[in-house]
Structure 1
Amino acid sequence: MNKPYVYITRKLPEDQIKPFKDDWEIGMWESETEPVDKETLKKEARRADGLLTMLTEKIDEELLNDVPNLKVIANMAVGYDNVNVEAAENKGIIVTNTPDVLTDTTADLAFGILMAAARRIVEAADYIRDNKWDNWSPLLLAGSDIHHKKLGIVGMGRIGQAVARRAKGFDMEVAYYNRSRKYEVEEEGLAVYESFENLISTSDFVMSLVPLTNETEHLFNGDVFRKMKKEAIFINASRGKTMDEKALYEAVKGGEIKGAGLDVFEEEPISSDHPLLTLKEIVCVPHIGSASKETREKMMNLSLQNIQSVLKDEEPKTPVH
């Protein structure tokens, strides 16, 4: 009996895939950094029983129309807006993701870029690197306090709750807006619920942690930035398309808000001439929310375990629906 064929769209460490080699025939894209090209992905998906994909791979209806053997798509991320889940389910293909294992790591990064933007840490590091530090002055690179300020979190899922716990350690006032009330969050004392309008207009820091949907695309737009406090800092650690980058650029450049910390962008990757990189008030990092060695290895393993379960006709650990 032939082994099932599993295709992995990025090169993973040998110690991750070795436990599955007895059960599967494994194909793998040869690069750790460059995404698989569209034609190769189509060809491999046509043959595969299982796919392990990254956010860079677009698993759309066109691709899914020609995958006669495919049973499972394991997306190595929490988000899965790169996969047409409805089209997959219509074909009986199970889609899985990697929640929980990256919650704390992503929350660390989200709060880290908040701190970096507020305290001008990247700008200050460059100040020394550029040999500009000649003397001390009272307001040299003076940023904004974080402690006792108000953090407004939009999207109170697992990561939002983890960020709120970190904020409490800084004696921050934490409010949240979510499509549905999270009473357990309020009972725990992590955050108070506010309307979206009130949250964006009264928070010192506004953080996007929402999934990308039709409703959240460009949720943070010019109108929203204009309603924020002039001293407010916007943080996005969710999906790039939840914000209008041009509107954010204009808001920061025009002094409508003080700055931003971004881990995500509308189109990724961005290049060094991107307009947002011209503003020292904006801290940009390359979608590294879950990028600790420990967490990425957990994400790899969970994705592989999900494929294993489906190919054995068992329930996957983390199906998206």
Structure 2
Amino acid sequence: MLKWKFFIVLKFVAIVRMASAKNCSTNKPPKVLIAEPSTPRSGISYLKEHGCQVIELEKATEDEVLKHIAEVDALLLAPPLKLTNKILDAAGCNMKTVATVSAGYNHIDIDELRKRGIKLGNTPRVLDAAVADHAVMLALAAARRLHEGRLKIENNEWKSDYQWMLGQDICNSTVGIIGLGNIGQAIAKRMKGFDIKQILYTGHREKPEGKELGAKFVSLDTLARDSDFVIISVPLTKETEGMCNEEFFSKMKKTSVFVNISRGQVVDQPALIKALKTNSIFAAGLDVMTPEPLPPDHEMLKLPNLVLTPHIGSATTNTRNEMSLLAAKNILKGLAGEEMIYPVV
């Protein structure tokens, strides 16, 4: 009788182990789900070269992710796809590694990943130069009325007048940068090449990098009041959401230019539209807005003193290839139980 019971126990243990091996095997090549179909091949090839089995989706939708998430060890995604609780609930026990092909991660619930013990890595730094270049381009385009000038040509309104289409100078100007992180610092370095008068910046605290750049740490109010160019370079958080509101724009100079290359939600968009319509500020340049994509009949497209680009700050071939490769390296580090190159969680 005892032998029979012992045999049953052994059989039960064997069944449990087989189920465990079937569901959470670590001997098979790790599976990685590529949720963004347009992910550059550099990262995908790197994963394959390092022994990963890659599953590529045709559409970046929650429903498509849900079809495969239970069978993979890692997820590579990119905004605007959100990593929802529904996806996390459907994920199998192997899915402990996530990488986003972006510097920002407001499309991911960080606290939820932390609770579930899932690692997350992002791709900062490799896009700093491209985004900083784009910020300077927007500042110049807005200051020199690029969009408005094109409209004048199209509408046959070209004039020969020394007082026609006068813009604002960057030379001898005061440039205010909200958020002197890596991208903010890259912007500051580029702006110094235009013989500006000074750089102001604001944030949680004064930074050693600010002193190295010769930048002055000031309050947000002072920056808004004294800057000829205001450039937003902060992550989207509960603290920064809507920080550039009607009160903020009312403090800016009427000759000032506003630039946003961070996230659209950092700006109270109706307040910005009002400031541009009433000429409370001179002009603005935006690479980010709400919603995205912007509807073709949106009122912002009718503003002559607003330069818009469709969230392409990091959109250069080399930058996107590097972002994809870095995301792949983050995944391999996570799968190996090592700290990611750029860990978020």
What band does the TM-score fall into relative to the shorter chain? Answer: over 0.9
SS at 2:90's partner residue? coil
Matched, 1:79 2:107: no
Q: Distance in 1 between matches of 2:70 and 2:111?
A: 19
Q: Which of the residues 49, 54, 58 maps onto 1:30? A: 58
Q: Distance in 2 between matches of 1:232 and 1:145?
A: 10
Q: Provide the residue aligned with 1:269 in structure 2.
A: 293
Q: Provide the residue aligned with 1:49 in structure 2.
A: 73
SS at 1:65's partner residue? helix
CA RMSD, Structure 1 to Structure 2 (Å)? 1.6
Q: Distance in 2 between matches of 1:135 and 1:198?
A: 38
Q: Distance in 1 between matches of 2:40 and 2:170?
A: 39
Contact 1:168 1:190 in 2 (8 A): no
Q: Distance in 2 between matches of 1:252 and 1:96?
A: 38
Inter-CA distance 297–282: structure 2 relative to 1 (3 Å threshold): same
SS at 2:214's partner residue? coil
Q: Provide the residue aligned with 2:269 in structure 1.
A: 245
Alignment of 1:256-295 (within 5 A): 256-295=280-319
Inter-CA distance 13–55: structure 2 relative to 1 (3 Å threshold): closer
Q: Distance in 1 between matches of 2:239 and 2:54?
A: 38
Contact 1:263 1:288 in 2 (8 A): yes
Q: Distance in 1 between matches of 2:42 and 2:199?
A: 42
Contact 1:161 1:190 in 2 (8 A): no
Contact 1:116 1:261 in 2 (8 A): yes
Inter-CA distance 78–136: structure 2 relative to 1 (3 Å threshold): same
Matched, 1:213 2:240: no
Q: Which of the residues 116, 134, 140 maps onto 2:164? A: 140
The letter of the residue matching 2:147 is V
The letter of the residue matching 2:143 is A
Matched, 1:156 2:184: no
Alignment of 1:167-206 (within 5 A): 167-172=191-196, 173-186=198-211, 188-206=212-230
Q: Distance in 2 between matches of 1:116 and 1:134?
A: 18
How far apart are residue 21 of structure 1 and its match? 2.0
Inter-CA distance 51–290: structure 2 relative to 1 (3 Å threshold): same
**Aligned residues: percent identity?**
37
More helix by share: 2
Q: Provide the residue aligned with 2:47 in structure 1.
A: 20
Inter-CA distance 19–134: structure 2 relative to 1 (3 Å threshold): closer
The letter of the residue matching 1:28 is E
Contact 1:164 1:190 in 2 (8 A): no
Q: Provide the residue aligned with 1:229 in structure 2.
A: 253
Contact 2:75 2:99 in 1 (8 A): yes
Contact 2:40 2:320 in 1 (8 A): no
The letter of the residue matching 1:218 is G
The letter of the residue matching 2:30 is P
Under a length normalisation based on structure 1, what TM-score does the superposition of the two structures give? 0.93
Matched, 1:121 2:146: yes
Q: Distance in 2 between matches of 1:21 and 1:176?
A: 43
Q: Distance in 2 between matches of 1:135 and 1:266?
A: 35
Q: Identify the range of structure 1 (21-30 vs 268-277) with the bigger mean alpha-carbon deviation.
A: 21-30
How far apart are residue 235 of structure 1 and its match? 0.7
Q: Distance in 2 between matches of 1:134 and 1:253?
A: 22
How far apart are residue 183 of structure 1 and its match? 2.6
How far apart are residue 319 of structure 1 and its match? 0.5
Q: Distance in 2 between matches of 1:145 and 1:38?
A: 47
How far apart are residue 240 of structure 1 and its match? 0.6
SS at 1:56's partner residue? coil
Q: Distance in 2 between matches of 1:207 and 1:15?
A: 32
Under a length normalisation based on structure 2, what TM-score does the superposition of the two structures give? 0.87
How far apart are residue 208 of structure 1 and its match? 0.9
Q: Distance in 2 between matches of 1:76 and 1:17?
A: 12
Q: Spell out structure 1 runs of 4+ moving beyond 6 A.
A: none
The letter of the residue matching 2:325 is N
Q: Distance in 2 between matches of 1:168 and 1:111?
A: 11
Q: Which of the residues 82, 89, 100 maps onto 2:125? A: 100
Unaligned residue ranges in structure 1 (runs of 5+): none
The letter of the residue matching 2:261 is A
Q: Distance in 2 between matches of 1:47 and 1:254?
A: 55
Q: Distance in 2 between matches of 1:250 and 1:46?
A: 48
Deviations 1:7-36 (A, max 9, x none): 1122234454223225122111226xxxx1
| Bigger Rg, which one | 2
Q: Paired residues, what number?
A: 315
Contact 1:165 1:190 in 2 (8 A): no
Q: Which of the residues 274, 278, 281 maps onto 1:254? A: 278
SS at 2:112's partner residue? helix
Unaligned residue ranges in structure 2 (runs of 5+): 1-26
